[in-house]
A and B are shown apart, each in its own frame.
Chain A
Amino acid sequence: MKRKTRRLWLVIACVAGLGAAAGLTLSAFSSNIVFFMTPSQVAAKAPPADRTIRLGGMVVAGSVHRERHGETPVNSFEVTDGQAAVTVQFEGILPDLFREGQSVVAVGSMTTDGGFAASEVLAKHDETYMPKEVAEELQKSGKWDPKFGPPPNAASWNAMTAKDAKTSSRGS
């Protein structure tokens, strides 16, 4: 085998390998990217029901309800960014760090009645830390500035920055 032929083989193999990798990546990207949305973004333009999104915000104080459907425990709670609220339904055990008035990220999709069916609820953080997506959205909407200490109690938001907060439909 000549050096040139060998090199040709190598190039073909490399192109095939990397091409397959790029193709797989692109096709997987097109169907599996999960966008992060806040309740006000959902309220403005709800994503289609078959699309998985990450919904982030604060759990509205006093909104956590539990029901039993047969033997399945169903939790429902409202997630707000201070401008809108979305009701989240979640079957299962809420994580250890889930608290009212603290930040949460719910992974799931919208239901036809405007609610959100979560397949996973993430609250991996302690009370002084919030997921950066939630923090960014809160800062953008002028609800919270980390310079002035920990995030406010979710229940007090709408009253706190009344001047720029649009009245939310379901926020407490």
Chain B
Amino acid sequence: MSPELGHFALALACAFAFAQTILPLIGAQRRDRRLMTMAPGLALGQVIALGASFLCLIDAAISDDFSVANILENSAVTKPLLYKITGVWGNHEGSILLWALILGLCGAAVAAFGRNLPAALRARVLAVLGGVAAGFELFCLTTSDPFDRVWPAPLDGQGMNPLLQDPGLAFHPPILYTGYVGFAVPFAFAIAALIEGRVDAAWGRWVRPWAVAAWAFLTCGIALGSWWSYYVLGWGGYWFWDPVENASLIPWLSGTALMHSAIVVEKREALKIWTVLLAIATFSFSLSGTFLVRSGILNSVHAFANDPARGIFILGLLGLVIGGSLALFAWRAPSLTAGGLFSPVSREGLLVLNNILLCSICAVVLTGTMYPPFMSLLFGKTISVGKPFFDAATIPLAIPLFAFMGFGPMLPWKRAQMWPVLRRLWIAALATLLAFAVATWSLSGVLPILCATGAVWVIATSATDIANRVALFRIPLGQSFNRARFLPRAAFGAALAHAGVGVSALGLAAMSQAQHKIVEVPVGQTESLAGYDWTLAGVKTEPGPNYTALVGTIEVRHNGHLVTVMHPSKRSFNAQNQTTTEVSIHTNGFSDLYGVIGDKHGDDAHPTYVLRLHYNPLAPWMWLGALIMAFGGALSLSDRRMRVGAPRRAPAPNTVAAE
């Protein structure tokens, strides 16, 4: 029963979404208040229907309703409850429903928080969000119905890949999707602004919090995914430059650029057209990322052959959203008036540089990701590009970015002198020089050394920025503290987010020096790696709920002192004829000791075991930095100025009428 209700609710949501697109658009065009004010109600109705539909699917999963094809293929009676729930979005159909639900929630949030928006703008923004939602709900209903029934219903499901039964992966998709989908709101604002033919400071102020929120979620989502692959896959790696990973990095890069260029729109009313274009591009990357790469269409030409309806629907929808918005941009952008002037050396100038560098990195990653599938489609050549390509092409662009990041926030708007700013940065410059010396001594390779130096520069200048703002050591400490209390939270947020980039970059630079060793040893033997002595103290077999595990005990000593005892294991799942590796990680905050146990060899009297031992310096910093970045974003969002203050639009002196 409940799957049919869910199906009906989904159809209802789709109907709401279509109404939410058409009625407010007509209303805004005709200045009909009745039609315009319908938008928030329709958005609310849509999200309630979607929520009901999603709950029905979760209900079917919890109650083991194997007559639903989706549950049958991805669940089993023995699966733990948590994974029955999270497994709902672990597959194609369920993840599209989750995607639509998050988009619906964004719409409802705009309806709820957007009370002070002009009626026409709010109606148009909600209409655009409704239009995107309608497309994807229709896609879900026609080609990827999560409520499809099977008859006769089998007694048990086919189960989930044991690799995916992990808390990290369970919460990775919702967070990542919130990031992707969140960029739909700046996109909707951009489209609405193009229809209205008007972008001003107030527009920048409305768009910015949405971009920051989506960016913070995307940052967390990417970090969580990377952390998952680090501790689950057992390869000791954290980022594989895989198309799926790049699909999240590309919108992150352009979203970061968007977040910064929106500041210029808000403060100086410049870069308007560029910001609108970035908003469109970021959401287009999010969309193509989720749907082209995740559905495997770009990875495999055969995905079309397997399910042509799905592929063509997705391509059509992407073409409509991306092509339509770019066409609208080409038609309407010239009517947007150019903004304020600034000199190249000014805060705006540096933000422009930030945008150019971020977009260049974004273009490089995009090229590296798209080139192999296009080569295979057009010329039938199978090639791949991996870490060496991306390292060589992106890091040289990231280093000037770090350099400019340092003093950008300290430059005044409009016109600046370099010298007074640089003079305030001498402590940071000294720290950076010291870091360069240390890095040259301890790291090998030009890029890691430059990367580490840049990272220290970014952290040091972020600290200097805050110290300068509170006039630390120039006035009594108590007064500095008072100043800090009244400093806008956005200033702290920005400094923190920048410092977070530095922390992550330090982790990445240090990880280039990671050491590992693969050995085959009998019990009792000691190996040395990175100054630690690793002893395989024992191995035993332990039964688990649906697997048997080979558990090793590795004692790690440093200069004779026991540092840690690790228990890596290897689980064999008999049902799926599959094995998984359970890594054991010991971290002290500055480095990770990482142990993996492999197969047993030799005869039973003299067994030997394959061990893989890793020493990963500063590994935790990579994810810590991402968390600091996201926290910085959240702190900026909590700034009162983000919510109140300017959201009232000044009367337009010479707006180009939309009609």
Contact = CB atoms under 8 A, between A and B. Distances in A.
Contacts of B392: 24, 27-28, 31-32
Q: Which of B382, B577, B612 lies at the interface centre, i.e. has the most chain A CB atoms within 10 A of its CB?
A: B382
Interface stretch (A13-21, A77-85, A151-159): A13-21
B383 interface: yes
B386 to A, nearest CB: 6
B650 to A, nearest CB: 23
Q: Which of A36, A54, A71, A97 lies at the interface centre, i.e. has the most chain B CB atoms within 10 A of its CB?
A: A71
Contacts of A31: 388, 392
Q: Which of B341, B356, B367, B596 lies at the interface centre, i.e. has the most chain A CB atoms within 10 A of its CB?
A: B356
Interface stretch (A2-10, A108-116, A160-168): A2-10
A133 to B, nearest CB: 5
A96 B57 CA distance: 32
Contacts of A2: 341
Interface stretch (B38-46, B188-196, B504-512, B513-521): B513-521
A133 B380 CA distance: 10
B302 A24 contact: no
B641 interface: no
Interface string B295-306: 000011110000
Contacts of B371: 29
Contacts of A14: 356
Interface stretch (B177-185, B202-210, B418-426, B578-586): B578-586
Contacts of A25: 364, 367-368, 393
A36 B301 CA distance: 16
What band does the interface of chain A fall in when counting residues whose beta carbon is under 8 Å from B?
35 or more
B596 A93 contact: yes
A93 to B, nearest CB: 4
Nearest to B353: A13
A140 B433 CA distance: 58
Given A66-B601, A93-B612, A133 B382 contact: yes
Nearest to A33: B383
Interface in A86-104: 91-94, 96-97
Contacts of A17: 353, 356-357, 359-360, 397
B578 A92 contact: no
A23 to B, nearest CB: 9
B386 A34 contact: yes
A96 B383 contact: no
Given A68-B520, A132-B302, A10 B385 contact: no
B396 interface: yes
Contact of B393 (A18, A24, A73, A132): A24
A169 interface: no
Given A73-B610, A93-B518, A29 B389 contact: yes
Contact of A33 (B357, B385, B601): B385
Contact of A6 (B299, B342, B570, B599): B342
A49 B221 CA distance: 40
A20 B360 contact: yes
Interface string A58-82: 0000000010100111000000000
Contact of A36 (B341, B382, B394, B581): B382
B266 to A, nearest CB: 19
Given A6-B341, A13-B352, A93-B599, A32 B385 contact: yes
Q: Which of A17, A27, A36 lies at the interface centre, i.e. has the most chain B CB atoms within 10 A of its CB?
A: A17
B518 to A, nearest CB: 4
B296 to A, nearest CB: 9
B518 A92 contact: yes
B527 interface: yes
B601 to A, nearest CB: 6
Interface residues of B, number: 56
B372 to A, nearest CB: 9
A106 to B, nearest CB: 13
B647 interface: no
Interface in B388-445: 388-390, 392-394, 396-397, 415
A153 B409 CA distance: 63
A1 interface: yes
A35 B372 CA distance: 10
Contact of A1 (B341, B385, B596): B341
Given A3-B341, A93-B599, A35 B383 contact: yes
A145 interface: no
A52 to B, nearest CB: 8
Given A21-B397, A24-B392, A92 B612 contact: yes
Interface in B122-139: none
A24 B388 CA distance: 12
A132 B519 contact: no
A57 B543 CA distance: 35
Given A1-B341, A17-B356, A32-B386, A71 B519 contact: yes
Nearest to B391: A28
Given A93-B610, A126-B578, A10 B383 contact: no
A73 B601 contact: yes
Contact of B389 (A33, A35, A66, A72): A33
Interface in B558-594: 570, 577-581
Contact of B388 (A20, A32, A73, A91): A32
A72 B385 contact: no
Given A10-B352, A21-B360, A96-B580, A36 B518 contact: no
Contacts of A1: 341-343, 415
Nearest to A73: B520
Given A13-B356, A14-B356, A20 B299 contact: no
B384 A93 contact: no
B381 interface: yes
Interface in B188-233: none
B299 A132 contact: yes
Interface in B597-640: 598-599, 601, 608, 610, 612
Nearest to A2: B341
A165 to B, nearest CB: 22
Interface of A: 1-3, 6, 9-10, 13-14, 16-18, 20-21, 24-25, 27-29, 31-36, 54, 66, 68, 71-73, 91-94, 96-97, 126-127, 132-133, 135-136
Interface of B: 161, 299-302, 338, 341-344, 349, 352-353, 356-357, 359-361, 363-364, 367-368, 371, 381-386, 388-390, 392-394, 396-397, 415, 518-521, 527, 570, 577-581, 596, 598-599, 601, 608, 610, 612
Given A1-B343, A93-B598, 9 more contacts: A17-B360, A18-B360, A18-B363, A24-B396, A29-B385, A34-B385, A68-B520, A94-B598, A133-B382
13 contacts: A2-B341, A13-B353, A17-B359, A21-B364, A24-B364, A24-B397, A25-B393, A32-B388, A34-B384, A72-B518, A96-B578, A132-B299, A135-B302
- The 7 residue pairs across chains A and B that have the minimum distance between CB atoms: A21-B360, A36-B382, A17-B356, A32-B389, A93-B598, A73-B520, A28-B392
